[in-house]
Each structure stands twice: as C-alpha cells, then as structure tokens.
C-alpha cells in the first residue's frame, strides 16, 4: 500500500467484483474507501470461497484496507445519511463508486442536486442498463468458442472473471481522470462504464473485430497452441506440465539452444522452406516443432527441465494448482514485496497481496485487513457528519445503522 492518494475519500456502494476491486485498487494507493453495506451484509457478504464457519474469503480479499459502514438505505433517514457522506464538502470528497443499479437513491441526478460537482463512477452490465455479468459478457464476446481442445466443438467457459477486473481498473482510470478535470474546471460528472464494453473494446483493440470484418472469417480454435506464434504445453518425464512460448527470434533461439534441437529445426526449415526465426512461420510449422519438443520434454523430469530452461533464459512457466503455487512459488510468498502476512479477524492469518505497482523512492505500507461489517459505522458518522453519541445510539435503536458484525 502507498499514500499517494492520502486524503481522497471515496464512498463505495457495491457488490461482487468490479466496483469492490476498483475500490480496493484506490485504497491501496492511499485513498480512504468507505464501503456502505446493508445491515447484516449485502449480496456478496457470504460469497464463496468461505471458511469452515462460513466467513467469506472472497469478501475479505476484495475489501482489504477499506472502512465499513452498515446502513439501512431502505429508510429515508438511512438514505439521507448515505447522501450526506457522498456529497460531503471539500475537494477530497464527492466521489461515489458503484456497480449497483443507478436508480432511486443512487441516481446521479439525485446526488448532483446535493453536490453539483459530484463525481460518480457507475459500472453497469450493458450500455442500455440491462443486466450482464462477466460470464454472460464473455459468452457474447466469442471467447468460449476459441477455448478448449481443438476437437471439441462446444463452447468452453474459463473461470477467471477477466472483464470484471478490466472494468475495475478502467473505473479507477475514469475516476482519476474525472478528478483531474474537476480540479482544473470545477466540474464533476457521471462516468459510466458498461461491463460488456470492456470485452467488446478489447476485441477491437486486439484485432479480433477487424479480423472478422476484413478477413470475413472466425479465428480457428487452437487448443493450447498460441495463435499466430509459437507456444505449447508439454509433459515432463515425471508427469508435470509446463508451458513454453517463443514470441521473438531471441525467445526461439534460447529455446532451441536449451533443448539442443537446432539440427532438427534446420531440417524442418529445409523441408517446409520456412525461416523459423519468424513467428508466423513457427505458427505454420507448429505441429512438427511440437513433435520434436515433445520428445525432448519426455526425456527429462521437471527439475531438469526447469534447470535447463531457466539457465538458458527461455520464456516458460510451470502448470501448478493454486495450492502448489501457494506452497512452492516464491512470487506468491512474503519473499515478494507484493505479499504481506496479515491477521484477518474471524478468519485467521494468511498471505495477502498489496498494490501491484512498484514506485521508486516510496515505501510500501503493510497490507491492511478487511474490516468487519459495520466496524466503522459510529466513527465515520461521528467524524464526517458530526453525529453525537446520543444520536448514534438512537440510530442504532431504530435500526438505521448497524455493526460491527464478524
């Protein structure tokens, strides 16, 4: 965690991944992120994975370092409190981040009446406001028809909610750009981001859309081959699997040297009339290349393969389960500055990631645990809104505010 955004206060009203991930990212840059949840928890409060006693590891992971307020926004008084937090005065206030439906008490126009220069980032499913989730967006973008074994003609979903993550980081970008504009012009605004647009824009940026339009064809499924270049998975003599890639001439050179297959590759070049230093030719010749490499990998165990590829500087990586990565990979350990060991109340001690970015001449702060639900309700309302202990007691008694809940 860093302190570059120290002082900036963001009110997050969210569920699931996109907005919570955006809030997490801003918090890890030093912003004060206050998440508003219903009393007793929102839609994702018990979302899997969970511990044996039903504590959500998912919720804890996405809310590290935030503050939590539990609020009954079904009541007029609860909505008034939420609005007061969202529209508090000052250049470091007036930021709202949400992926809940932007209507009713969460409608931008309602909030703008209370603070004209409010900045609100709203993540929706589709541009027209209709519902979409990562898994439905990915299906519509065509990627499941490119995923899975070549001989399998049905769509194959992947499990990584990549569009939620892209949307989260795009939301951070949008909020920071809107903040700069407000500082320069005094104007706020609504920043709307459709989850489906993250997928369709990516299709365009990476050439998929033009490929379909200009070439008039669907990209073929290639299994674990990497399209347009060389990349393939292999099994070692002791049953481990590795992925190797050779995108550049240098990648190719060191891979051939590491596997001692230069003579075999020259024979392929001569037979097919191809220069394998060019990635498109490596893709065209991927089947005979793979046959040669497969024989090499079958001769050595994983430790030997790892040593030979590593010493040569080849671009490769092991296939490993999450448990194997946690147990064996130093990149996922506290040897890496990315990870700290934290104590998460109600869950226990475990590794947790901080900011992905590394800034020179700046010290990292220790990763902070997620709050208990409603942990900060009283302190936030006292500090920001100036509510007295007597007023807070009355709000608790009337079911307007709540917490903390483990």
CB count within 10 Å of CB 2 equals 17
With CA atoms as reference, report the closest residue to 171 among 80, 67, 99.
99
260: number of Cβ within 10 Å: 10
Residue 32: its H or E element: strand 32-37
Separation between Cα atoms, residue 101 and residue 122, nearest integer Å: 8
| Residue 25: partners with Cβ closer than 8 Å, 6 or more residues away | 168, 169, 172, 355
The token pair that represents 270 in the structure block:
């001569």
Assess whether the previous peptide bond of 53 is cis (omega < 30° from 0): no
C-alpha distance across the termini of the chain, in Å: 24
Task: Please answer whether residues 262 and 238 qualify as being in contact, where contact means their C-beta atoms are separated by less than 8 angstroms.
Answer: no
Residue whose pair of structure tokens reads 């009339």 in the numeric block: 273
Is the torsion defined by CA of 121, 122, 126, 129 positive or negative?
Answer: negative
Helix (H, G, I), strand (E, B) or coil at 218: coil
The DSSP secondary-structure symbol of 368 reads: P
Does residue 328 have a cis bond before it (omega within 30 degrees)? no
Cβ neighbour number for residue 352 with a 10 Å cutoff: 22
- In angstroms, how far is CA 121 from the centroid of its own chain? 17
CA distance 178 to 97: 12
Burial class, 299, CB count within 10 angstroms (exposed 0-12 / middle 13-18 / buried 19+): exposed
List residues with catalytic annotation.
Answer: 164
- The helix/strand count (H/E) of the chain reads as 16, 12
Do 43 and 15 contact (CB within 8 A), yes or no?
Answer: yes
């Amino acid at each position: 965690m860093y302190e570059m955004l120290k002082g900036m206060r963001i009110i997050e009203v969210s569920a699931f991944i996109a907005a919570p991930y955006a809030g997490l990212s801003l918090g890890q840059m030093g912003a004060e992120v206050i998440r508003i949840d219903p009393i007793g928890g929102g839609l994702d409060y018990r979302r899997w994975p969970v511990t044996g006693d039903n504590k959500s590891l998912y919720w804890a992971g996405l809310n590290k370092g935030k503050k939590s307020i539990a609020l009954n926004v079904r009541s007029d008084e609860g909505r008034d409190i939420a609005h007061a937090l969202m529209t508090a005065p000052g250049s470091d206030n007036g930021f709202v981040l949400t992926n809940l439906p932007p209507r009713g008490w969460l409608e931008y126009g309602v909030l703008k009446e209370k603070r004209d220069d409010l900045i609100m980032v709203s993540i929706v499913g589709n541009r027209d406001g209709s519902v979409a989730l990562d898994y439905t967006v990915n299906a519509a973008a065509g990627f499941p028809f490119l995923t899975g074994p070549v001989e399998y003609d049905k769509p194959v979903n992947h499990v990584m909610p990549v569009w939620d993550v892209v949307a989260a980081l795009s939301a951070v970008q949008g909020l920071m750009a809107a903040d700069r504009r407000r500082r320069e012009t005094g104007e706020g605004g609504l920043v709307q981001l459709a989850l489906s647009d993250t997928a369709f824009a990516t299709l365009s940026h990476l050439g998929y859309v033009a490929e379909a339009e200009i070439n008039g064809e669907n990209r073929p499924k290639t299994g674990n081959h990497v399209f347009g270049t060389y990349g393939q998975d292999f099994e070692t003599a002791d049953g481990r699997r590795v992925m190797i890639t050779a995108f550049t001439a240098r990648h190719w050179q060191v891979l051939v040297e590491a596997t001692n297959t230069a003579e075999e590759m020259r024979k392929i070049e001569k037979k097919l009339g191809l220069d394998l230093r060019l990635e498109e030719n490596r893709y065209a010749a991927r089947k005979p290349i793979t046959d040669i490499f497969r024989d090499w990998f079958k001769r050595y165990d994983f430790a030997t393969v790892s040593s030979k590829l590593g010493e040569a500087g080849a671009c490769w990586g092991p296939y490993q389960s999450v448990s194997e990565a946690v147990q064996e990979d130093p990149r996922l350990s506290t040897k890496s500055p990315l990870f700290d060991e934290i104590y998460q109340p109600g869950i226990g001690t475990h590794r947790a990631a901080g900011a992905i970015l590394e800034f020179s001449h700046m010290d990292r702060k220790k990763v902070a645990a997620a709050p208990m639900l409603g942990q900060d309700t009283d302190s936030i309302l006292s500090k920001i809104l100036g509510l007295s202990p007597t007023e807070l007691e009355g709000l608790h008694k009337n079911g307007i505010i709540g917490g903390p809940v483990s």
